[in-house]
Structure formats: C-alpha cells, structure tokens
Structure 1
Amino acid sequence: MKTTYIRLSIATALLLGIYSCKKQEATAEGYGEASATTDSTAVISSDSISSVATMNVKDKQFIKTADVNMEVKDVYDATISIEKSVQELGGFVTHSNLKSNVISEDTYNTSNEEAMLVKKYQSENSMQARIPTVKLGEFLALINDKKLFLNSRSINAEDVTSNIKYAELEGKRIKKTSENISQLKTNKDKVQLDDENMSESNQQQFANMDVTDNLKYSTVDIYIKEPKIRIAEIAITNTQSIDDRYKFDFIYSVKSAFVEGYYLIQRIIVGLIVIWPILLIGAIGLFLYIKRKSARKIQQNISK
C-alpha cells in the first residue's frame, strides 16, 4: 500500500501544470474551433506578423506568448490606443506602468514675480496584456502600426499536446488508485491516504485551470518608449525674489535682538537664584578669608 501511495504522489507531482482528462477533451474541441478562426486572422496579418502568432497545426495545441519592445511617437497616446485595442479584442490589461524619467530640471527667472521651470524627460511604459489566442496575430498587427522603430519582438508557441495526452493517461491511473483506496478497510492509514489524494487532486485541478487559461489567452509583454527627449515648460513663481524680499529686515532684527537680550538677563537671574546655596557658601568663605587676612596683617603690624 505504501508503494502505491509513493507512486501516486510522484505521478501527481509530475501532473502539476498539465491538463486533466475531461478538461483536455473540452479544451481540445474549443481550441480546434479557435484555430479555425485563426486561419482567417492569419490572412490579415501575414504580411507583418510572424506565422508563430497565427500558427494552427492539426491535432496540436500551443500556449503562445509574445514580447514586444518598440519606440513610439507618443507613449501616452500609444498606451491609450493599445489598451483600447485589448478591450475591443476581448482581452484585458494586467499591468501598465507609465512613467516619465526626468533627465534635467532647471528654473529660469523671467521677472520679479514669475519664472519658468524647464524639464527634460523621456516617457516609457511597461505593459502586460492577456489576449484571446485566436486574436493574437490581429493584436500584434495593431500595435505594430504604432511603432516608429522596433527594437525587438519575440513570439513563442509551446507545444503542450503530449503533456495533455500524458495527463489524460495519468488521470485515469489516479482515478483507479482512488478506487483501490476506497476498497481498503477503513483505518487511520486509509483516511490519511484518501485525504492526501484529495489534496493532490485539488492541486492538479488548480493547475489544469491555469493551463486552460493559458491556452485560451496569450500573454503579451509590451515595452514602449519615446526615441527623443521631450521638454516641458511650466510657469511658476519666482521664489528667489521672494527670498530676497524677506531675507533681512534691520528693524525687526534689532527688535528681536533686544527681546532675546532681555530674556537672556532673565535666564541669568533665574540661574543665580537656583545656585544661591553655592553663592552663599562662597560669600561666607570669602568673608572669612578676608577677615583672617586682615587679622594677620594687624598682628604683623603690632609685632613691628
């Protein structure tokens, strides 16, 4: 029984990420229909897009991904256009990080009250979109029209047909193992085996859902940037003239110095009051010292 459990665990671990038998059949049918639609799309985009994006091979299933790096005239306008195209094709954007990298920033005073802030910057955006696989070629053709210069583009089609068929066979074996476990005498070991088998089955179903999603939707990573530096001119207040206006006030400074001096005298008096015992002891010591010195002087005069 332990040998059966070990084999069950190893097989189930290998099956993570692989399509299960029932869902494989459904997906295969759906993918066959989708591939038929892809053929018409391929005619539209065959001149500008790699055949990998629209590839359709009988009895084969592919998980497709794409990575596009290009330069565009205006990053913001291109981003809006790409996001709109994604929605129109039935896809969705999972990530979009549009930002402007400031190269330099300078302020030029144009009058006593006004100034001009000049920023030199370059915009870029890093996006990720999920596109229905049957529309991948059409989407790549749409974003290809936005480019000024294509830095790089990679399109991948991973053949998962054999994995799906293997998963079908393993699914049948796991089902048979589950039936064998159910025939065992109920005890602590059977409960543990059944619980672990169910847990691994749930994990496999989760992985199957992920594969189903990847077959239906292709992931496209897009990086766009502007080839030239842009300049932004922003009207602002001349802060330097304001600083100069209030930098130094003689009358106010004299008044403040007088007040600070008055507070300083108060602090000195308070400090003397705090140490009055020390001052008293010092005064008594000084008095005794002077008295003793005077007495010694008088005695010396008498001796003469």
Structure 2
Amino acid sequence: MKTTYIRLTIATVLLLGIYSCKKGEATTSDYAVSEPEYNKEIVADSISSVATMSVKDKQFIKTANVNMEVKDVYNATISIEKSVQDLGGFVTHSNLQSRVISEETYNTSDENAMLVKKYQTENSMQVRVPTSRLGELLTLINDKKLFLNSRVINAEDVTSSIKYAEMEGKRIKKTAENISELKTTKDKVEMSDENMSEENQQKLANLDVADNLKYSTVDIYIQEPNVRIAEIAVTNSINIDNKYKFDFFYSAKNAFVEGYYLIQRIVIGLVTIWPILLIGGIAFYFYRKNKSNKKVIQEHKE
C-alpha cells in the first residue's frame, strides 16, 4: 500500500512537471508572436507619443523644438512648408540664409578671376499646426533628417489655469453688477472703467489660451552637415586697377590744363584786389620819392 502511494506521488509530480513545461512553452510562444507587433507599435509611436498624448479631463498646450541636419536645406524647407499647409497649419517665421565660412579670389588671367566661397546653408523656422496633427507633422519632419541633434516636445497642463480663468470671469461679472447698483459718481465711472479693462484683459488671455490649445507651435532649425563651395566668375580687379592706375600723357595733359586754370585764377585774384594794389603802388611811389629827396638834400650839405 505504501509502495503504491509512493508510485502515485511520483507519477503526479512528473505529470505536473510536464504540464508546467508545456505551459511555459506556450507562454514563451505567445510572447514570441506578440513581441514583434509590440515593438513595431513602439517604433511607430515613438516619434509622436508625447505629441498625441491625451488625458481625460486634462487640457495641454503642446509645443515642440526640433534641431536636425538635412541633405538640402532649401528642399527640406519647401517640403516642410508644404506639409504644414497640407495639415491645416501655417508658417509664422522662416529665415533661410547661407553662412559664409570663407571666400577667396583667384586670378585666372589678366581679365578674369574666380571667387570661391565656402558656406553652410541653414534655416530657422517657426510653424503652427493644429494640435491634433502635431504628431503627423513631427513624423514628416523626421523623415527629412540626416542626423537629429535634438527634439523637445512640451505638453503644458493648463487645466487649472482654465478653471481659474472661468472663476475670474465670474468674479469680474459680479463686480460689474455690484458697480451698476451704485449711484452715478466720478468714483463709479472710474471703477466701471477699471473693471471693463480687467474684463478685456481676461478675454484676451482666454483667446490666447484657446488659440494655443487649438494650434501647437513648432520651432525648427535645420542645417546642412557639409560645407558647400560656390565658384563665381568675376573680373580680375587687380589687373584692371594696374591698367588704369597711371597714364603719363593723360596726366601731363591734365597738369597743363590745371596750370592754365591756375594762371587764370591768379589774374582774377589780382584784378579782385586792385584797390589794395593801387594804394600800395601809391604808397611805394611816395616812399621812393621821399627817399630820393632826402638823398639830394644830403648831397647838397656835403
């Protein structure tokens, strides 16, 4: 009897071990099938999971900042702008420019030269897109990258701020009702004006929040990783300067003409001061005459 019990116990343990192994194999098999699908879902959502985040009874203002390198800045800019428009958004800023790293002019002949510029093209953009389609835009932008330097996505919870704004609106409305019950005085007019101004500011703040909830702002900076080179055909300016720097016959002719004009100016100047010359001449005449008389008198004395 005891032997039979031991045999049954061993058989039960073996059966449980086999069942556990089969169960473990089945569980492993289930993970093997579902894991690729799970990873695929993570890869698909990793680009926009934050951008598409939605929480019940919560409202978020979402913004994003993308800094990346692309193959061609101009083509990427055109593509991003078109994608923004297709998604129902709009571009608020786009500053595409070529940053010159160096430039050098090489003379290739007496008349021609080559200007070689090394530069990098970059663009700083700001776009606004419906918040519901922010994830789509980030996915489209990500497709243009060669290298992603950084990407920041912010989701600011403004639920409490919206509730507070509603309470402030009710307070302002109640204040207006209380003011209306007062007697018409100068103080009442001032109080009414201040309350109306506060109401307008609150309405403006509500409009800004509503707009930021509806549209997300995305700042985008793109640049090319490699330096581009532009070769521009120009004129050999050094040779041209040397060619026309000095011409002897032309300079001699100009010197002769300038000398002639100088004589004219001297003559005209003398004519202009003729009274002074006349007075000077008379004074000199009397001086010489006086000197001659003194000389004659001295000779007679001797």
Superposition TM-score tier, normalisation by shorter sequence: 0.7 to 0.9
Q: What per-residue deviation string (whole Å, max 9, x for no partner) do you get for residues 191-249 of structure 1?
A: 44333323322221121111100001011111122222221111123333333333332
> Across the two proteins, how many residue pairs are aligned to each other?
262
Give the superposed CA RMSD.
2.2
When structure 1 is superposed on structure 2, of 236-245 and 219-228 the one drifting more is 236-245
Secondary structure of 2:193's match? helix
How far apart are the structure 2 equivalents of 1:168 and 1:47? 36
Partner of 1:250: 248
- The answer on 1:69 being equivalent to 2:67 is yes
Q: Which sections of structure 2, spanning at least 5 residues, go unmatched?
A: 1-40
When structure 1 is superposed on structure 2, of 168-177 and 119-128 the one drifting more is 168-177
Partner of 1:208: 206
Partner of 1:109: 107
Offset at residue 186 of structure 1 (A):
4.2
Q: Which sections of structure 1, spanning at least 5 residues, go unmatched?
A: 1-41
Which residue identity is paired with 2:45? S
How far apart are the structure 2 equivalents of 1:297 and 1:221? 106
Offset at residue 252 of structure 1 (A):
2.0
Among 173, 178, 181, the residue aligned to 1:180: 178
How far apart are the structure 1 equivalents of 2:218 and 2:181? 49
Q: What per-residue deviation string (whole Å, max 9, x for no partner) do you get for residues 35-68 of structure 1?
A: xxxxxxx97851334x322211111100011112
TM-score (norm 2): 0.79
Relative distance call for 1:98 and 1:190 in structure 2 (3 A) is same
Percent pairwise identity:
74
Contact (CA 8 Å) 1:70, 1:223: kept in 2 or not?
yes
Secondary structure of 2:51's match? helix
Partner of 1:171: 169
When structure 1 is superposed on structure 2, of 180-189 and 267-276 the one drifting more is 180-189
Offset at residue 160 of structure 1 (A):
0.7
TM-score (norm 1): 0.79
Partner of 2:56: 58
Highest CA radius of gyration, 1 or 2?
2
How far apart are the structure 2 equivalents of 1:160 and 1:101? 40
Partner of 1:120: 118
Which residue identity is paired with 2:301? S
Partner of 1:220: 218
Relative distance call for 1:60 and 1:180 in structure 2 (3 A) is same
Offset at residue 143 of structure 1 (A):
1.2
Partner of 1:47: 46
Secondary structure of 1:200's match? helix
How far apart are the structure 1 equivalents of 2:51 and 2:180? 47
Which residue identity is paired with 2:297? Q
Partner of 2:11: none
Q: What per-residue deviation string (whole Å, max 9, x for no partner) do you get for residues 117-152 of structure 1?
A: 111222221111101111112211211222222222
Offset at residue 114 of structure 1 (A):
2.2
Relative distance call for 1:298 and 1:196 in structure 2 (3 A) is same
Which residue identity is paired with 1:72? V
